[in-house]
Structure 1
């Protein structure tokens, strides 16, 4: 044994021994049992969750794999989707084929429209050739049992000084008028050169301000006569600007020798069908108003109007009006416009009859008399079984009045809305 300072270690007595902690082992056992019990409960709960999860998995398996389960429904959905995709591809092909057919039909219609325009031009030309030897005599006194073959040449010689005038055919254009006004005479000259002599002599008498009891004009197709009147109207506008122009046949010749061409051209169905998608979208933004339809003896009339300040805006209103389904199928689409340029202050006006001869001139006169400016109006007219006669011009004026009223009302509403928004601000 180790020795301390050469002395033996003291012996422990009974009173010096360490006594153990009272009840130490029972406390440790209780804690251990409590921990084991908690662990068992936790294990039991986890086992329950596992059982529940197993049941859920079984239910999911049933939902997936049993009859009418998710797997079968997915398979059916895949099958239907595949079939739908096939049908969709088929529809796409059909749609592509239909689009190609529509494009083909549109091109055919464009070609037909242009051919019809060429045919109409040829017909007018042929009618003009058939009338080149003819003159019209207006206001020639009418008597019963008259001899026009003798009376008309004698009157021409007496009043105009043109001798040796002979007619191959000469006649009145209808029965006597109820109001006693002489019916116009149509005469086909044997010598065509006599027509120019007569017209020249009449022009000289007019310059001398001599009184003539009748008036003679060259017979022309109505289309040619109306176009010449329209060009004279344009020529008068240039004359006010000190620009001297000359009407030669159906053309207006400028001082430079160039042929005048309107910035606002007649719109045909071929032009409408040739409009691009971008231009179509821009035309839809053009602000216009449309009147109610007026019916008279199965003839239908309605008007489209828009505010304009330039030829381009007139073109936009004109084209948008022709885009309307009803206007596209109408017999006539008469355009008339009048506006003042803000920069130059010049007045611009014009019209296109579209075969309704005289309508454009009357509507432009109506706009001038009522001081209507900065407006373009398109009157669409369907011709019915019965002819309306001259009453149609009054109907067109009434439709134009309605269109202008609607356009002004729309402008007033926009001004009111703008003032309200300003007050709210």
Structure 2
């Protein structure tokens, strides 16, 4: 029984040894071996981490440098902040200056409007004064008589000789208050015109009536007489006579009464195109100015003679409206607005096939009539031409018309090459 017990004890001891001694020792050794094998990898990972940490330090240092650089750029003496502050100050000053400029601009506009009003008022007064001056001239010439083609000789005594010759030719006794020839001495066969102021108005009427009777009898006289009128009235009369002739050809009855052409029904003729007034130019709307700016015109070369300057502008025209627009365009240009004369001449065929022509002297009496005749001779049609003259202080006589024709022809040829 004891052996059995011993045997059982021995058996238990032998059974317990493998599990308590041999097997645990083998497991620990394997784990250590595995850990030792992983150690290089861990070391490599630690080194990588260290490198990365070192890199982060470099990045941190770089960021610190960037931060300091930005701080310097923003807040340094030469940084953005002072510049932004300076720009803000400049903007504020600019705003103040702009406000000042706007106030000054408003003030200038008001002054400009005032000047426009003053100029318009002056232009109206000048027009009224010109009419009054013309009327006064007419009154002062009421008793004047012009004597044409009266033989001129040296040392003549007109106060004595002229009344004697008038008595011989017209049978009328006249007495002059004063009498003289017009203009300086000149070389030529045509004698200078004589102007004389008679003592009485009735004497002038008697001489003129006698001359009319002689003409009706078709009797020739060595000289002839005519009443004296202001140049503007004379030119206006010629213009009205031309118009009356055209209407007569159209079988339209008209009469010249004073300075007006009156139709049978009592209506008074009015020019279709007039010289633009100051108010027409200064008060023109922006839309109209823009439209005038789009009108195409051609310009001649400038001609000069004894301080006088001439230049012509031409454009196409097929209606009175076209003519008015071109005339206003030229008269609105500052250099032309200050000129002495802007002579207008036009010639076109309307939609009904009727030939329309006309002119405006603008104080240069006889110029428009001469230029219109020049256009007719050259058969120029559908054209409007404005000849501008700047007076240079010296009269040119008939030469001025030739110069005007030259520049007008040049401009018209450019328009219709």
Q: Name the TM-score, length of structure 2 as normaliser.
A: 0.81
Q: Which residues of structure 2 form unaligned runs of 5+?
A: 1-17, 19-26
Query: What's the counterpart of residue 307 of structure 2?
Result: 298
Deviation, 1:103, is 2.2
Q: Distance in 1 between matches of 2:398 and 2:77?
A: 82
Deviations 1:371-409 (CA, angstroms, capped at 9, x unpaired):
111111111112223322221111111111111122224
The answer on whether the counterparts of 2:170 and 2:211 sit within 8 Å (CA) in structure 1 is no
1:108 partnered with 2:108? no
Alpha-carbon distance change, 367 to 46 in structure 1, aligned in 2, over 3 angstroms: same
Deviation, 1:300, is 1.1
Query: After alignment, is 63-72 or 169-178 more displaced?
Result: 169-178
Q: Distance in 2 between matches of 1:28 and 1:205?
A: 155
Query: After alignment, is 268-277 or 88-97 more displaced?
Result: 268-277
Query: What's the counterpart of residue 370 of structure 1?
Result: 378
Query: What's the counterpart of residue 282 of structure 1?
Result: 291
The answer on whether the counterparts of 1:170 and 1:185 sit within 8 Å (CA) in structure 2 is no
Residue number among 163, 166, 175 corresponding to 1:152 in the alignment: 166
Q: How many residues align?
A: 385
Q: Distance in 2 between matches of 1:365 and 1:195?
A: 34
Query: After alignment, is 128-137 or 169-178 more displaced?
Result: 169-178
SS at match of 1:147: helix
Q: Distance in 2 between matches of 1:356 and 1:275?
A: 26
Query: After alignment, is 292-301 or 186-195 more displaced?
Result: 186-195
The answer on whether the counterparts of 2:179 and 2:197 sit within 8 Å (CA) in structure 1 is no
The answer on whether the counterparts of 2:169 and 2:221 sit within 8 Å (CA) in structure 1 is no
Query: What's the counterpart of residue 339 of structure 1?
Result: 348
Higher helix proportion: 2
TM alignment of 1:344-423, pairs within 5 A? 344-409=352-417
Quote the RMSD (CA, aligned, Å): 3.2
The answer on whether the counterparts of 1:148 and 1:170 sit within 8 Å (CA) in structure 2 is no
The answer on whether the counterparts of 1:379 and 1:400 sit within 8 Å (CA) in structure 2 is yes
Deviations 1:32-77 (CA, angstroms, capped at 9, x unpaired):
9598988887777667655544443332222112222211111111
Q: Distance in 2 between matches of 1:151 and 1:328?
A: 49
Q: Distance in 2 between matches of 1:346 and 1:30?
A: 119
Q: Distance in 2 between matches of 1:302 and 1:60?
A: 69
The answer on whether the counterparts of 2:349 and 2:382 sit within 8 Å (CA) in structure 1 is yes
Residue number among 174, 181, 189 corresponding to 1:166 in the alignment: 174
Alpha-carbon distance change, 344 to 148 in structure 1, aligned in 2, over 3 angstroms: same
Query: After alignment, is 390-399 or 378-387 more displaced?
Result: 378-387
SS at match of 1:264: coil
Alpha-carbon distance change, 210 to 347 in structure 1, aligned in 2, over 3 angstroms: farther
Deviations 1:289-312 (CA, angstroms, capped at 9, x unpaired):
112211111111111111111111
Deviation, 1:185, is 3.0
Query: After alignment, is 46-55 or 62-71 more displaced?
Result: 46-55
SS at match of 1:150: helix
Q: Which residues of structure 1 form unaligned runs of 5+?
A: 1-13, 15-19, 158-162, 410-425
